[in-house]
Amino acid sequence: MSKLEIYQIVKDRSDSAIKNINKAMGYVEDGSRVDTHNDKHNIHFSTNGVFNADKKIYLNMSYGFYGNSSSCFCCNDAVMEYMIRALNAKGHEIAKLAKQYAEEDAKKALLEAEEEALNVLAEIKKVKNED
């Protein structure tokens, strides 16, 4: 197979992946503008499994158009390859963001615990004053 033939295969695959990613992001196929009729666009990562050290990450990418209740899933092997490369390229940024989310969740839980504790103390004080 010639380099030109290989290029054409790679180009077709990447063009298809880009179109699908654009649609899953809510854009028209060429990414030039938001597609206001694509009201079911979605990119979502999730995990499954508890007992293994390595965790799987599942990617769901889809799109669908206003007036049509169906959705199209567009996460093929090419899309997945490019999404994994993007995730790996931005791994440190994603990890920093994950740490930020973890810190925010801990602070929120602490504030909620503090609020609960203050309410309990106020109730104790109220009960003691009634005696």
The partner residues of 47 in beta bridges, in order of sequence, read 57
Asked whether residue 9 falls in the same domain as residue 55, the answer is: yes
Total number of domains in the chain = 2
- 17 is in which domain, residue-wise? 1-76
Confidence (pLDDT) at 42? 82
**pLDDT at position 65, please?**
87
pLDDT of residue 88: 85
Q: Quick one: residue 49, left, alpha or beta (phi over 0 = left, psi -120 to 50 = alpha)? A: left
Residues making up the chain, counted from first to last = 131
User: What is this structure's pTM?
Assistant: 0.64
Residues of the chain falling short of pLDDT 50: 49-50
Whole-number Å distance between alpha carbons of 37 and 1: 41
Yes or no: say if 48 and 56 are a contact pair by the CB < 8 Å rule: yes
Same domain, 70 and 96: no
Residue 15: phi and psi, rounded to 5, are -60, -45
Same domain, 108 and 72: no
Separation CA 113–CA 125 (nearest Å)? 18
Residue found by looking up tokens 């899953």 in the block: 24
User: Per the domain annotation, does 82 fall within a domain?
Assistant: no
Residues 113, 102 contacting (CB under 8 angstroms):
no
